[in-house]
């Protein structure tokens, strides 16, 4: 079994995978460290981290490989994020492992991920040709038609009230950097507010200011959520970032003021 937990995070290091099933490859990242830097020193809402998995594979009882897609849900209330590289290596370690059936595989994955996240994780298996997971377009009004210059760093003061009572907007131009490798991560971000709305140009400038900001996907979304909440105090707020995939995984954190079911869909760019 892997001793990666003793060696620290796997991101940014050359790490050999495992040809045998190895739950020890999974690595937790505590949420509380980044949340201390948010307004109020914590995250006040609800949500889920939705992982779109495009390369799930294991052997059936006869040794025949299957190939699937999957949707993994990690509750925002869990104490830990699951590091993305460790998840990729863990899922790859299942490629040569035999399960009696897919239910047994899902039970194993659920137990392993829940243990690392510190809360119950869900997983839904999809067939490769499942049309329910076809790409689509985000709802709302695009901010990308605005010709706005980014600020040097995220600045919540750029978010100002427009006077409108609600808003549903999106942008394909969200870019942030991995805090470990400094590699760029791209996403479409969808923001909905009720009871207050942000002025479009200021919100776009704020979102563009993440271009050189170094945080994990989940942390960026919580920062956006908390900055909007602090500046506008809307009755309802939802922030959903659908990041493009790396290594067969796309992370789509969603944060909301209400304890609703997380949206599960993919966009054309994913």
Confidence of residue 12 (pLDDT cuts 50, 70, 90): low
Residue extents of the structural domains in the chain: 4-133, 141-254
Q: Residue 101 is encoded by which pair of tokens?
A: 């059936």
For 125-151, write each residue's pLDDT tens digit.
999 999 989 999 999 999 999 999 988
> How far apart are alpha carbons 118 and 64 in whole angstroms?
33
Domains 4-133 and 141-254 share a fold: yes
For 28-54, write each residue's pLDDT tens digit.
999 999 999 998 899 999 999 999 999
Instruction: Answer for the pair 10, 85: CB distance below 8 angstroms, yes or no.
Output: yes
Percent of the chain with pLDDT over 70: 94
For 59-79, write each residue's pLDDT tens digit.
999 999 999 999 999 999 999
Instruction: Answer for the pair 248, 55: CB distance below 8 angstroms, yes or no.
Output: yes
pLDDT mean across residues, the chain? 94
Which of 22, 49, 185, 227 does the annotation list as catalytic? 185
> How far apart are alpha carbons 65 and 98 in whole angstroms?
9
Residue 151 has a pLDDT of 87
Which of 22, 53, 178, 252 does the annotation list as catalytic? 178
Does the annotation mark 185 as catalytic?
yes
> What's the CATH architecture for 141-254?
2-Layer Sandwich (3.30)
- The mean pLDDT of 92-100, rounded to a whole number, is 97
**Is pLDDT at 4 greater than 50 in this prediction?**
no
**Is pLDDT at 2 greater than 90 in this prediction?**
no
Residue 219 has a pLDDT of 97
For 239-268, write each residue's pLDDT tens digit.
999 999 999 999 999 999 999 999 999 999
Would you identify the CATH topology of the domain 4-133?
A: GTP Cyclohydrolase I, domain 2 (3.30.1130)
For 154-213, write each residue's pLDDT tens digit.
999 999 999 999 999 999 999 999 999 999 999 999 999 999 999 999 999 999 999 999
**Is pLDDT at 17 greater than 90 in this prediction?**
no
Does the annotation mark 103 as catalytic?
no
The residues that bridge with 46 in the sheet, in sequence order, are 256
Residue 19 has a pLDDT of 86
Confidence of residue 16 (pLDDT cuts 50, 70, 90): low
Residue in 43, 31, 28 with CA at minimum distance from that of residue 223: 43
Q: Render the burial of 16-52: b for 16+ CB within 10 Å, e for the rest.
A: eebeebbbbbbbbbebeebbeebeeeebebbbbbbbb
Residue 9 has a pLDDT of 61
């Amino acid at each position: 079994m892997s001793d990666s937990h003793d060696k620290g995070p796997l991101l940014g290091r050359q790490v050999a995978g495992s040809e045998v099933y190895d739950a020890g490859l999974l690595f937790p990242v505590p949420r509380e460290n980044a949340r201390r830097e948010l307004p109020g020193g914590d995250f006040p809402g609800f949500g889920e981290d939705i992982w779109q998995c495009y390369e799930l594979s294991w052997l059936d009882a006869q040794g025949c490989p299957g190939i699937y897609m999957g949707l993994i849900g990690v509750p925002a209330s869990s104490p830990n994020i699951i590091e993305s590289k460790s998840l990729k290596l863990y899922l790859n370690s299942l490629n040569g492992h035999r399960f009696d059936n897919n239910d047994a595989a899902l039970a194993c994955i659920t137990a392993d991920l829940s243990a690392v996240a510190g809360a119950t994780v869900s997983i839904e298996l999809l067939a490769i040709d499942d049309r329910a997971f076809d790409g689509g377009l985000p709802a709302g009004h695009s901010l990308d038609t605005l010709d706005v210059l980014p600020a040097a760093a995220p600045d919540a003061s750029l978010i100002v009230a427009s006077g409108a009572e609600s808003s549903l907007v999106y942008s394909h131009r969200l870019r942030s950097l991995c805090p470990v490798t400094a590699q760029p991560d791209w996403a479409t971000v969808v923001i909905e507010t009720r009871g207050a709305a942000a002025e479009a140009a200021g919100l776009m400038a704020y979102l563009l200011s993440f271009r050189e900001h170094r945080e994990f996907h989940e942390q960026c979304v919580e920062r956006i959520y908390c900055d909007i909440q602090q500046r506008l105090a809307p009755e309802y707020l939802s922030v959903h970032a659908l990041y493009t995939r790396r290594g067969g995984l796309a992370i789509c954190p969603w944060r909301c003021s209400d304890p609703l079911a997380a949206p599960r869909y993919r966009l054309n760019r994913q």
